[in-house]
Amino acid sequence: MPHRNTQPVPSYKIPVGISACLLGDNVRFNGGHSQSQLCMKTFANYFDYVKFCPEVAAGFPTPRPSMRLTGNPDDPVLRFTNDPTSELTEQFIQGYQNKVENCGELDGYILMKNSPSCGLERIKIYQENGHPHQTRGRGLFTKALMEKYPLLPVEEEGRLNDVHLCENFIMRVFAHYHFRNEVLAQPTYANLLKYHSSYKYLLMAHSQQAYKSLGKRLATAANEPLDELLVEYQTTFMKAIEHPAKRGSHCNVLLHILGYLKKTVPGEERQDIADVIEQYQRGEVNLTTPVTLLHHYIKRDGSDYIRAQRYLEPYPAALGLRNHV
């Protein structure tokens, strides 16, 4: 798992939404919280949290009876578990509606698992007979959030204990932040090209198809309407990096980057790097080992272009995320 950061606090923090109970607020139905040490300690130096509890925002008391989703899985109703005649959906929606409309400045969202309001997936939806449908769903707030912002990196805190899902989520948060601040804040074709250039090999690690298609698309798009191009690019890019990259894809990228040292690093040293990449391919070392070795030579002998590749450090190295993948 990622370790607690001991490095200096960075000069900026990324705005990330979070379920208030994960920060220790006593807002759960039982009057307690679900404080996350991962969020409170490991990520706190990098994220500027915007906390929210949709149930409290809707005016439900704490403590309160537990709630659950019932009825049609495509359009479930929120009810108190102990009162099948209650109808809480409209009140709940009114509580979070304004919040959802104002999440456009966030670069990620961390949610509480197993919640009928905030759960990301596998949320039980009950039939009239009291048994859950085979079809599972999302919490009502999460569903509304993801429909409004389909490109926003969203994850459940519980799933962040999976090192691959955690690493991929944090990478996506930083990529979203960089696009919003480096491209959308100053929208020019040149800034879009610069962003694409810096993320080129990270994109390759996740999707060869997107890597090729976006490269071709940008090569001929200089005179097209910029607003449409930015939407198309961000959609394709964020969808392409949605899932963790495979080991073989990482090895392919590492060897491509190694090729940039062909003229500046002696053959014997390049072979040593290639051997470490093979060790990673066999699962004998973690990803940070070949990346750190390559990064050393790139800083010393690489071109400005390859030094700028965010694949080498897509987020602060102090997070230690690649020590486990």
Domain presence at residue 8 = no
Q: What is the per-residue pLDDT for 4? A: 44
pLDDT of 10: 67
pLDDT of residue 6: 45
pLDDT at 3 (0 to 100):
46
Residues 147, 63: one domain?
yes
Looking at the structure, tell me whether residues 196 and 297 fall in a common domain: no
- Residues 89, 58: contact at Cβ < 8 Å? no
pLDDT tens for residues 260-282? 999 999 999 999 999 999 999 99
* 1 domain residue, yes or no: no
Structure tokens of 292?
A: 């750190």
Q: 220 lies in which domain range?
A: 163-240
Q: Where is the domain boundary, 240, 258, 286? A: 240
Residue with tokens 């991929």: 168
Give the phi and the psi of residue 59 in degrees, each rounded to 5: 95, 10
N-terminal to C-terminal alpha carbon distance within the chain: 9
DSSP symbol at 42:
I
In a domain, 218, yes or no: yes
Sign of the torsion formed by the C-alpha atoms of 258, 259, 265 and 270: positive
Which of 136, 161, 186 is the last residue before a domain boundary? 161
Q: Which of residues 240, 267, 300 is at a domain's end?
A: 240
Residue 2: inside a domain: no
Q: Is residue 179 part of a domain?
A: yes
Q: Is the domain of 157 the same as that of 191? A: no
Give the span between the Cα atoms of 66 and 60, in whole angstroms: 11
Reported as a single tens digit per residue, the pLDDT across 59-102 is 999 999 999 999 999 999 999 999 989 999 999 999 999 999 99
The answer to whether residues 66 and 193 belong to one domain is no
Asked if residue 251 and residue 198 are part of one domain, the reply reads no
**What is the number of structural domains in the chain?**
3
Where the chain has pLDDT below 70, the residues are 1-10
Phi, psi dihedral angles at 78 (to 5 degrees): -95, 125
Tell whether 227 and 265 lie within a shared domain: no
Query: Which residues are CB-neighbours of 206 under 8 A, at least 6 positions away?
Result: 240, 241, 243, 245, 249
